[in-house]
Amino acid sequence: MSRIRTHLIAYITLIPSALLVVGIIFYPIARTFYASFSEVDRKGNPGAFGTLANFRAVLGSSVFRHQIIPQTLIWTAAVVIVTIVVSLFVAVVLNERLAGRRLMRALIMLPWATSLVISAAVWEFILHPTQGPLNGILTALHIVSGSGPAWLARPGLAFVCVIIVGIWVSIPFTSIVLLAGLQSIPDSIYEAALIDGAGGWRRFRTMTLPLLRPVLLVAVLLNVIYVFNSFPIIWTLTQGGPANGTHIIVTYMYQTAISQRDYGQGYAMAVLTFLFLLVFSLIYTRFHAKEALSPE
C-alpha cells in the first residue's frame, strides 16, 4: 500500500474526532479566553475586545480574595492530602494476601462507580439535622443531646462536611491507582530485603515508598486537578453556602455566570482556574515529577 494512501486513510479517520474535539473543547476554550478580555453581553457573547474589566471585577471583589481563594486552597490541600494518606494505606493493605481482599477491593470501588451527585444527595440525607442517620445514631448513642447539630447550616462545620465527602469520593480512584503501582513492584526486590532482615515499616519506608514515588507523584497531580475542578459535591450539598462559606472557585464561577448571568466575571474565573492549574502542573512536574511523567 502506498504511503500517500496510508496518510489519506489516517487523516480521514481522524476527522470525526477532530470535529468533535474542536467544536466541544477547543473552540469553547478559545472563546472563554477571548471573552474574558472582552465586554460580554447578557447572553454570554463577547463584544468589544481588549479590556481587563472582567478580571478587575473578579480580583477586586473581597469575597473572591478573602473567601473564595483561601477556601479553594484549603479544600484542595485537605482533600488531596487526606485522600493520598488514606489511599496509600488502603493500597498497601490490599496488596497483601489477606482473606477477603477481593471483597474489600470491590467495596472500596463503590463510590467511584456512583454518580457524584447521587453520592452527594445521599450524604445530604445522612447529614440532615432532624431525619438524618448521623444525628439519629449520635443521639441514640447519647453522644449528642437533643437532636444533634445542623451539619450543613454553619459555615465552618459545613466546610468540614464537604471536605469529608470530597475525600470519600476521591479514595477509590487513588487507592486503585496506587495499588496498581504497588503490584508493578516485583516480589523479588522484597525477597532480597527479607533475607537482609528488614522489618515491615523499614521495608515500606526504604523500598516501597521510593519505588512507588513516580506513581504517587502522578496520583497527587491528578487529584489536585480533579479536586480543584470539583463541582457536583459542593453544589449539591450546600450550593456554596451558608454565607459563601463552602464556595470554591468553580462553584462561585458557576453561580456568578450561570445563576446570576454575569458571564464576563465567569469567563475571567474560568481563565484563572485554567491558568492556576497550568502553572501548578508545570512547576510540579519541573520540581518533583520529571521521572514520573517522562515516557520512559
Partner 1 sequence: MRLSPLTKAIFIAGMIPIIIAIVFPFAVMIATSLKTSGEISGTATGYAFLPHHPRLANYVEAFERMPLARNFANSLIIATGATLLNLLCAVPAAYSLGRLQFAGKRAVLFIVLTTQMFSPIVLIIALFSQFTNYGLLEGGRVYIALILANAAASLAFSIWLLTGYFATVPKEIEEAAFIDGCGRLQTVLRVILPVSLPGVVTTVIFAFITAWNEFVFALTFVSSDQYRPLTVAIPSFVGQYAQQWQYLMAAALLATLPVVALFLSVEQHLVRGLTAGSIK
Residues 229 and 240: their CA atoms lie apart, in Å, by: 14
As measured in angstroms, the least distance from the Cβ of 159 to partner 1 is 19
* Binding positions for partner 1, 6-35, rule CB under 8 A: 6-7, 9-14, 16-17, 20-21, 23-29, 31-32, 35
Neighbours of 132 (CB within 10 A): 20
> Looking up cell 485554567, which residue turns up?
274
The H or E element spanning position 231 is: none
Say whether residue 68 binds partner 1 (CB under 8 A).
Answer: no
As measured in angstroms, the least distance from the Cβ of 250 to partner 1 is 5
Say whether residue 69 binds partner 1 (CB under 8 A).
Answer: no
As measured in angstroms, the least distance from the Cβ of 56 to partner 1 is 18
Nearer to partner 1, 117 or 157 (CB): 117
Say whether residue 96 binds partner 1 (CB under 8 A).
Answer: yes
* Binding positions for partner 1, 183-242, rule CB under 8 A: 184, 187, 190-191, 194, 199-200, 214-215, 218-219, 225-226, 229, 231-232, 235-236
Burial state string for 120-131 with b = 16 or more CB within 10 A and e = fewer than 16: beebbebbbeee
Say whether residue 157 binds partner 1 (CB under 8 A).
Answer: no
As a whole number of Å, the CA-based R_g of the chain is 24
* Binding positions for partner 1, 124-153, rule CB under 8 A: 124-126, 128, 130-131, 133, 136-137, 139-140
Which grid cell is 207?
Answer: 523500598
As measured in angstroms, the least distance from the Cβ of 270 to partner 1 is 5
Question: CA-CA distances (angstroms) from residue 133 to 122, 123, 129, 151, 288?
Answer: 10, 10, 9, 12, 43
Say whether residue 93 binds partner 1 (CB under 8 A).
Answer: yes
Which of 32, 21, 24, 25 has its CA nearest to residue 275?
32
Among left, alpha and beta (phi > 0; psi -120 to 50; other), residue 154 is beta
Contact 243, 155 (CB under 8 A): yes
The residue type at 179: L
As measured in angstroms, the least distance from the Cβ of 57 to partner 1 is 15
Q: Kindly tell me which residue out of 52, 74, 85, 110 binds partner 1, with binding defined by CB under 8 A.
A: 110
As measured in angstroms, the least distance from the Cβ of 63 to partner 1 is 19
Q: Kindly tell me which residue out of 161, 171, 220, 234 binds partner 1, with binding defined by CB under 8 A.
A: 171
Say whether residue 77 binds partner 1 (CB under 8 A).
Answer: no
* Binding positions for partner 1, 30-49, rule CB under 8 A: 31-32, 35, 43-45
Contact 220, 80 (CB under 8 A): yes
As measured in angstroms, the least distance from the Cβ of 75 to partner 1 is 14
Neighbours of 12 (CB within 10 A): 9
Query: In this structure, are strands 46-49 and 38-40 parallel, antiparallel, or unpaired?
Result: antiparallel
Say whether residue 112 binds partner 1 (CB under 8 A).
Answer: yes
Among left, alpha and beta (phi > 0; psi -120 to 50; other), residue 44 is left
As measured in angstroms, the least distance from the Cβ of 98 to partner 1 is 7
* Binding positions for partner 1, 263-292, rule CB under 8 A: 263, 266-267, 270, 273-274, 277, 281, 292
Count the site residues for partner 1 by CB under 8 A. 102
